[in-house]
Amino acid sequence: MKQIFYRTLATFMFFTRLPLWKIANVPAEHFKKVVPLWPLVGWLTGGIMACVYIIASMILPSFIAIILALVARVLLTGALHEDGFADFCDGFGGGTTRERTLEIMKDSHIGTYGVLGLILYFTLIIATLHTAAPLFAPGIRPIAMGALLMCGDTFCKWTSSTIIYTLPYARKAEEAKNKLVYASVTFAEKAISIILGTLPIILLREKALVFLPSMVASVITCLILFLTMKKRIQGYTGDCCGATFIISELVFHFTALITLSLISI
């Protein structure tokens, strides 16, 4: 039980800015095993996004509520995933060789590709969610949008987590930014991870069919990204994890928009 407590605490400490280090001194080895529980963090980050949207949309336009929901997650995570995405854009955009790509991604300064990537990402995800909101019936719109935000967050954290048992780590352990290389994942951990990532969608029961195309699109996106990473740098880095989440979640919501446009909710 103590090991589970430490591992869960390490996961939330690693993926959020919550001051959980005040609760206990977590042994370093537990931080190597946080990725399978990444979808569990989605229950928090996605849940807060949903709550912020639902509450804000009661008194503010949906467009502003969406922005506030995204801001809430950025503040909660310390822009962890956005930072990785920006470095990924710089590395894969500016690097022409494996060594140069890894070198650029390790640089903490953001470049042109990173800036453009973040601008395009936030423009697209805000526009996508804003366009999707009116496609839900007015009576269920706040709750439905909250479900969309939470399901996208948790599911894409799961699909992104599969990177560590799909690809090898691209650097040497001592070259890692945070000096941390994730441990290998057991079958039980994989099962728990997929349950955590899909349970919010499963709980929607028949309404979950709306998210089925988004789930498929997210998985395909991850596979394409993994193949691209394998070809370019022969593995993954922490920045690749963050970028995979950002891109796959955007695809999840964009596919949901297309699905909602084709059916009547």
pLDDT band for position 32 (cuts 50, 70, 90): confident
Cβ count within 10 A of residue 25: 8
Q: Which helix (H) or strand (E) holds 119?
A: helix 112-132
Region 97-125: mean pLDDT is 94
Calpha distance 19→199 (Å, rounded) = 27
Confidence check: pLDDT of 250 > 70 = yes
Contact predicate 90/114, CB 8 Å: yes
Helices 238-262, 80-94: inter-axial angle, 10-degree rounding: 100
In the predicted structure, residue 21 carries a pLDDT above the cut 60: yes
pTM of the model: 0.94
Lowest-confidence pick of 43-57, 91-105, 164-178: 164-178
The span from the CA of 81 to the CA of 241, in Å, is 8
Helix (H, G, I), strand (E, B) or coil at 257: helix
Query: Per-residue confidence at 180, pLDDT binned at 50, 70, 90?
Result: low
Residue with the bigger pLDDT between 179 and 200: it is 200
Predicted confidence (pLDDT) at residue 265 exceeds the cutoff of 60 = no
Which residues is 236 bridged to in the sheet?
169
CB neighbour burial string for 131-157, b if at least 16 within 10 angstroms, e if fewer:
ebbebbeeeebbebbbbbbbbbbbbbb
- Residue 174: the pLDDT is 57
Taking residues 82-108, what's their average pLDDT?
Answer: 93
